[in-house]
Amino acid sequence: MRAFVSFSILALIAVGLTLSLSHIPFGTDRMQVANYYLNHGVADTGALNLVTAVVLDYRALDTLGEMTVLFIASLGVGIFFSWPKKEGSEEDGKRGLPPASLIVRRGSQFLFPLILLFGGYIFLHGHLTPGGGFQGGAVIASAFLLMFLGNTGYHLRQKPLAVTESLAGITFVIIGLIGLGVSGYFLNNFLPKGSEFTLFSAGVIPILYAAIGLKVGAELSGIAANMFQSRSER
């Protein structure tokens, strides 16, 4: 009986999917909104990278939602790892792992500032070249991860990370509210667009991307710090 019910539900879903998919024309260009973005994106937003134009101008509110999702994920990891442990299970991390070899330690310390610089470059040039806040933030977090993996006992204080994250999130919302006050639309691009191919162009988009980059970098580094450091050394 149960098999029959599940099979009939599956068959119903399959028929529905087939019927709805058969109405979608394949191979013909029906994406009018994509053509609009391609033809008018640079003039509308001032961002040469059209992905950035969509993410931070046409669909900037969705980006705010995406940042909220990441924030909730980071919050969940923080809560999970600060849960009191059961009696008798000793804190690990104090297990006395042997230090990595000199090459690994010095190599990671040498690469750390360069990776940070690259991450900053990615999110500051998000409106000109591929990449943006999320990618730059992930690159910054990978620099901290490299330090954690290459140096036993590397310590990252949580407080500055939390402050950076909060300030960046507040900056994003405040810029959105200024746009709402100036022109009546939340996250409207109220600054002058500037000339193309320059760093200071595209209005508020570089500021927003810097805020997103710092926020994502701080959140992902915070997740890494939560997992690597035992509670006593936070």
Partner 1 sequence: MIYIAILTVAMLIAAGAAYLFRDLIAAVVACAAVSLIASVLFYLLQAPDVAMAEAAIGAALTTAIFVIAIRKTGRYEK
Name the residues that contact partner 1, by CB under 8 A: 49, 51, 92, 122, 130-132, 134-135, 138-139, 141-142, 145, 148-149, 220, 223-224, 227-228
Q: How far is the CB of 138 from partner 1 (least distance, A)?
A: 4
CB 80 within 8 A of CB 203: no
* C-beta of 55 vs 191, nearer to partner 1: 55
Q: Cα–Cα distance between 157 and 220 in angstroms, integer?
A: 14
How many Cβ atoms sit within 10 Å of the Cβ of residue 80?
10
Beta-sheet strands, E only, within the chain? none
Q: How far is the CB of 70 from partner 1 (least distance, A)?
A: 11
Q: Cα–Cα distance between 219 and 162 in angstroms, integer?
A: 8
* C-beta of 146 vs 191, nearer to partner 1: 146
Q: Cα–Cα distance between 73 and 141 in angstroms, integer?
A: 15
Q: How far is the CB of 85 from partner 1 (least distance, A)?
A: 12
Structure tokens at 27: 């191979």
* C-beta of 87 vs 92, nearer to partner 1: 92
* C-beta of 29 vs 92, nearer to partner 1: 92
Q: Cα–Cα distance between 27 and 72 in angstroms, integer?
A: 39
Q: For the packed helices 205-228 and 158-183, what is the interaxial angle rounded to 10 degrees?
A: 150
Burial of 53 per CB tally in 10 Å (0-12, 13-18, 19+): buried
Q: How far is the CB of 132 from partner 1 (least distance, A)?
A: 7
* C-beta of 12 vs 227, nearer to partner 1: 227
Q: How far is the CB of 143 from partner 1 (least distance, A)?
A: 10
For the CA atoms of 160, 83, 144, 117, the dihedral, rounded to the nearest 10 degrees, stands at -40
* C-beta of 135 vs 164, nearer to partner 1: 135
Structure tokens at 63: 């980006």
Q: How far is the CB of 112 from partner 1 (least distance, A)?
A: 14
